[in-house]
Structure 1
Amino acid sequence: MINLDTNTAVAFIAEGSPVRYELRAFVKKQQMVIAQTAFNEFINIVQYSAGSLEQTRANRFLQRVIIVQDNPSAAARTLRPTRSLDVNDIIILGTGDEMGIVTMTADAKAVRAASSQGVNFNVYLHLPYSLTGR
């Protein structure tokens, strides 16, 4: 299994995303999961920023992802939010940590901020890509 954060889910559905192919190659046939917090953020972004092509792709994407309950690890719960690491980052990264799986993210700042507090998450970092509105 692989945990997806919000910006990874966006990169999977963004029109013209060159990152999508890299993400697909990494995931291969592994089951993708998304924490409830990441799912909620993703749905909000899609609702307000996605164009029709991206909304269609989001619907197909969500059929292949399992939504899991937020359940951050004990290590994640020790983290203090900062400008670079917000509560949702802690929940999403921590849920993947609790599950013992890799979290795909483009949020290198959050990963570094957690590391500076002594918590190192198992992540696959990729370049960010935003929705185009198409």
Structure 2
Amino acid sequence: MTKHAAGTFTLDAFDAGEPYDVHQETKIARVHVEKTFSGDLTGTSTAELITVATGETPRAYVAIERFEGTLDGRRGGFVLQHNAGGENGEPWLSWKITEGTGTGDLAGITGEGRIVIGPDGGHSYTLDYTIA
């Protein structure tokens, strides 16, 4: 049975390296991120991003993120694969649990969800998941 999780997270660290690829206004860089989750997911994570920006505006990123904490009363962790971009000026951010990465009480977890950045810059998430 698929379950639904929702909540918010804060960015505790956002350490962007200097772009390693620059072509005219397009810059590609690595970023290390640390987060704290609230809501149905409670815990912390670290992520490594590869970002694309034009000028000062972020345009897309891919990332791998390791979450550790609790979900639905179950303690453990898993890895999320991110994919983000934009279309007609509107950003979209999706993530998927990487198969086989669940640990502890979250072993066997699968699922996918979305990240939303609000007008105030706050971050919220949804995650639809199952645990085998």
Same fold by TM-score, threshold 0.5 exceeded?
no
User: Which structure is larger by alpha-carbon Rg, 1 or 2?
Assistant: 2
More helix by share: 1
The normalised TM-score by structure 1 is 0.23
Q: Which has the higher contact order (CA 8 A, sep 6+)?
A: 1
